[in-house]
């Protein structure tokens, strides 16, 4: 049975509160650092964490914005996301901080960490891999692909991106550009594109945002999750 606990921390004078989800025995296990969508830490990501625990892994749900933003209105969260995206060097430092925080937990096997993110969180996972971080893999679910505009580093981790082909935020030319970027960085990469699927396809409440092209797709959600678990089995046996 899983348990979860709050992990208070701070980054450059900002107070954050991530959530660790793990087994009750406290043993060190392979861990997935889950980076939420623009809406921050919600029960959706904690639920994904519980599913991972049932499969023998731990999950660390990363807080990018701060506990005071839990449940904040959409416009507030989009403004916060744009603030973080406006300085990709600082965003990289934030992601490195979160990785180091997870690595410091007794329940985390430090050489067996995968970073997986959703929407904006997918971009954050890619940015951490772009930093040259020594993680096992970076995984993007309907993430943003724009490169950070920072000096390129050799990517050490495997990369997998699950993408809705009709995503209005990431048109086909950006998908091709990501493939080219990852090839030039020497990465072991995969891009899984789902036809007739838009943005936010893993989130049953995606349509609540009332944004054209953003909707849940049960089949794409299942296909991407199955492929994700296959990746974890490939990495950790």
| pLDDT tens, residue by residue, 114-161 | 999 999 999 999 999 999 999 999 999 999 999 999 998 899 999 999
224: CB partners within 8 A, 6+ apart: 141, 162, 192, 194, 201, 202
Q: For domain 2-236, which CATH number applies: 3.30.420.10, 3.40.605.10, 3.40.50.1820, 2.40.37.20? A: 3.40.50.1820
Cβ atoms of residues 29 and 22 within 8 Å = yes
Q: Which two tokens stand for residue 217?
A: 């797709």
Percent of the chain scoring above 90 in pLDDT: 89
82: CB partners within 8 A, 6+ apart: none
Cβ atoms of residues 154 and 122 within 8 Å = no
CA dist., res. 178 & res. 230, Å (int): 22
pLDDT in tens, 187-231: 999 999 999 999 999 999 888 877 889 999 999 999 999 999 999
- C-alpha pair distances (Å), 17 with each of 9, 22, 69, 214: 6, 16, 11, 28
Cβ atoms of residues 206 and 189 within 8 Å = no
* Model confidence pTM above 0.85: yes
Helices assigned H by DSSP within the chain: 43-54, 74-85, 88-103, 120-130, 172-184, 218-236
Q: Which helix (H) or strand (E) holds 61?
A: strand 58-61
165: helix, coil or strand? coil
- C-alpha pair distances (Å), 53 with each of 58, 178, 193: 5, 31, 27
233: helix, coil or strand? helix
């Amino acid at each position: 049975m899983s348990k979860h606990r709050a992990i208070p921390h701070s980054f450059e004078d900002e107070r954050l509160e991530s959530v660790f989800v793990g087994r009750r025995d406290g043993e060190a296990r392979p861990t997935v650092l889950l980076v939420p969508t623009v809406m921050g830490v919600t029960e959706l990501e904690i639920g994904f964490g519980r599913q991972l625990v049932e499969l023998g892994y731990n999950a660390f749900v990363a807080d990018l914005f701060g506990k005071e933003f839990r449940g904040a209105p959409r416009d507030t969260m989009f403004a916060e996301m744009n603030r973080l995206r406006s300085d990709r060097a600082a965003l990289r430092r934030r992601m490195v901080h979160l990785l180091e925080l997870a690595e410091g937990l007794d329940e985390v096997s430090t050489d067996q960490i995968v970073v997986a993110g959703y929407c904006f969180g997918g971009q954050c996972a890619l940015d951490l891999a772009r930093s040259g971080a020594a993680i096992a893999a970076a995984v993007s679910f309907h993430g943003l692909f724009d490169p950070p505009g920072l000096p390129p580093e050799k990517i050490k981790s495997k990369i997998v991106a699950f993408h809705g082909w009709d995503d209005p935020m990431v048109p086909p030319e950006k998908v091709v550009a990501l493939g080219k970027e990852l090839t030039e960085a020497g990465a072991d990469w995969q891009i899984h594109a789902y036809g007739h699927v838009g943005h936010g396809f893993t989130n049953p409440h995606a349509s609540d945002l009332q944004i054209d092209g953003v909707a849940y797709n049960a089949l794409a959600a299942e296909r991407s999750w199955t492929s994700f678990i296959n990746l974890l089995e490939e990495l950790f046996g």
